[in-house]
Chain A
Amino acid sequence: MQIPVEGFMYPNEVELQWSVLIVLYPFITGLVAGAFILASLERVFRVQAVKPTYRLALLTALSFLLVAPLPLQLHLGHPERSLEMYLTPHRSSAMAMFGFVYLWYLMAVLLLEIWLDYRYEIVLRSQTESGWKGLVYRALTLGSSNVSERSLHIDERLGYFITLIGIPSAFLLHGYVGFIFGSIKANPWWSSPLMPIVFVFSAMVSGIAAVMLLYMLSTRLRGKQIDMRCLDTIAQYLMYTFIIDFSLEMLDLLQRIYEADESFRSLDFMVHTRLWKSQVIIQILLGTVTPIALLGLTQVLKFSDMARKRIYALSGCLTMIGIFAMRWNVVIGGQLFSKSFLGYTSYKMSFATREGLLTAIALMILPFVILWVLVKLLPPWPESEHLSGSAAAPAHGTS
């Protein structure tokens, strides 16, 4: 265990406990919450412009939510015991309670909403498709093939209600992850009442950017025309959310610098040395200031459709990198300094081990594989909706 230590660290602190997989986990749940908030923009806040991305956002959220427990399972010393969290949850533990928040969000919000929204297509396909696909659709109908106008109307009303409670549920899902870190008084880099809020806003930013990029990519792959009004609206929401997120993070930083408490010298040194590249260069300059500036430019100056698309794509990619860097700086950064404030260690990320870089890359690719399967099963494209029979299926957003 030859990990170079600078200064003094408590002997048991030298080896990092939470690896890149634990960086991945808040990143993934953040995408879930953010994608769902984007979907709710249309459903609850009647922002008609983003309707083309509604179903895609929901499926994206589901793909990532299904992958979310995997980095945790791979990290555990005894993953075979993980059911204990549901059987004997320790009510004072944020981690234990999160198991139920996750379950609630998966079952009562996301799966239910997707099922209700797609039920007409599911019933139709269960009657027309054959083979294993038909089997899947028939199972999804739960044996009920009623698609009368009133049943669909009930579905729509219920779906609205679920999205309504889904918004605070999405905030709870990712705010909770923030609380898991923010409630640790032993670690001054994490301990902050702002942590859940910063996590929620950065989650929204990453989720919106992810759906925006996926929408652009999938439309391009299908050879269709991008709805610019939709894209412009999404980019606008991305910018405003990002400004709020950045302000919160800067507020935390400014307060720390001003108050300069016991931990400040040590943390300041850490940011200036070990976290310089990942925090100042990648997260702040490249990953936050640049996208905000680019998006701000599109609001102030007039660009052609092609130019705007390129700017949005660039901003989206930089945003995703920036938010990942933020998770890295929180999780890894919080373990690089000693709780004695007298020293630092290093993170030696392995490559092909259970908690290595290769595993992290595989876990990031997996949601897109799942999304591909979901998109084949339940096409989210606007033109597919016409197949459902516009007369029978009431449009969203109408009471």
Chain B
Amino acid sequence: MSSIIAAWKNLGYQRALRNFGRRTRRAGIGSHLFKDIEHLVRLAAVMAIALVAFVLLRAAVVPHSFGQYGHYRGAAIGEVASRPIAFAGHETCEACHTDVVEQKKLGKHVVVACEACHGALAKHADDPSSVHPKKLDTAVVCARCHEANSAKPKGFPQVATADHSGGLACDTCHQPHRPKIETEKTETAKMVTEGKK
């Protein structure tokens, strides 16, 4: 069966060749087809070489982890994850500064993380003796949260600092880790602010 198909195919091929020969002879030129398309064959060869060069370049240059999880360099995930940490996190602070923890527990600032006011201190946590946190200027730090602004939630403690303290630093009267003033202290605070006025 296969030999019949082969023979039939051969016949078809011969017929095609004969027809082509007829056509070219009719055109009046007896030269081989290859010679007349030689320039196209050369062009095709140039393009094929360029394509192969591209494939080789790609295999050499594309990073190995590309495509690991998706259309990106898988190693990039690790690179982003290995960035050094600047904020230690309040649990780290609390491990050493237990006295402050006790004080905070008594007041509203228990929910405020240490570094919210004190800034990023992972360096201090790593080497407490040589890296010292900066002293804070309460007039600036406290105002950020507690300066009166109509967009702040109504129940949130806020004051117009100019009227409230007349420019005094907040820690004159308030202890930041336990901000609520006890009764005698409130009287003193009132006297101080009224005196200033």
Contacts and interface: CB of A to CB of B under 8 A. Distances in A.
- Assess A/B contact in the complex (Cβ within 8 A): yes
Interface of A: 83, 86-88, 90-91, 107, 112, 115, 119, 141-144, 146, 148-151, 154, 158
A148 B71 contact: no
Interface string B27-47: 101010001111110110011
**A-B complex: 5 closest residue pairs judged by Cβ atoms:** A144-B39, A151-B36, A142-B42, A150-B36, A144-B38
Given A150-B29, A150-B31, A87 B61 contact: yes
B149 to A, nearest CB: 17
B135 interface: no
Interface string B91-125: 00000000000000000000000000000000000
A3 to B, nearest CB: 26
A86 B53 CA distance: 13
B66 interface: yes
A183 B61 CA distance: 31
A90 B71 CA distance: 7
12 contacts: A83-B61, A87-B57, A88-B62, A90-B71, A112-B43, A141-B39, A146-B36, A148-B35, A150-B24, A150-B31, A151-B35, A154-B37
A88 B36 contact: no
Given A115-B43, A142-B39, A142-B42, 17 more contacts: A86-B54, A87-B57, A87-B58, A87-B62, A88-B62, A88-B66, A119-B39, A144-B38, A148-B31, A148-B35, A148-B36, A150-B29, A150-B31, A151-B36, A151-B38, A154-B37, A158-B40
A116 to B, nearest CB: 9
Contacts of B66: 88
B39 A146 contact: yes
A399 to B, nearest CB: 14
Interface residues of B, number: 21
Nearest to B38: A144
B64 to A, nearest CB: 12
A143 B42 CA distance: 8
Contacts of B29: 148-150
Contacts of A143: 42
A150 B43 contact: no
A15 B171 CA distance: 41
A115 B46 CA distance: 14
A151 B42 contact: no
Nearest to A91: B71
A63 B178 CA distance: 74
Contacts of A148: 29, 31, 35-36
Contacts of A88: 62, 66, 71
Interface string B144-179: 000000000000000000000000000000000000
A258 to B, nearest CB: 37
A149 B31 CA distance: 11
A91 B27 CA distance: 47
A107 to B, nearest CB: 8
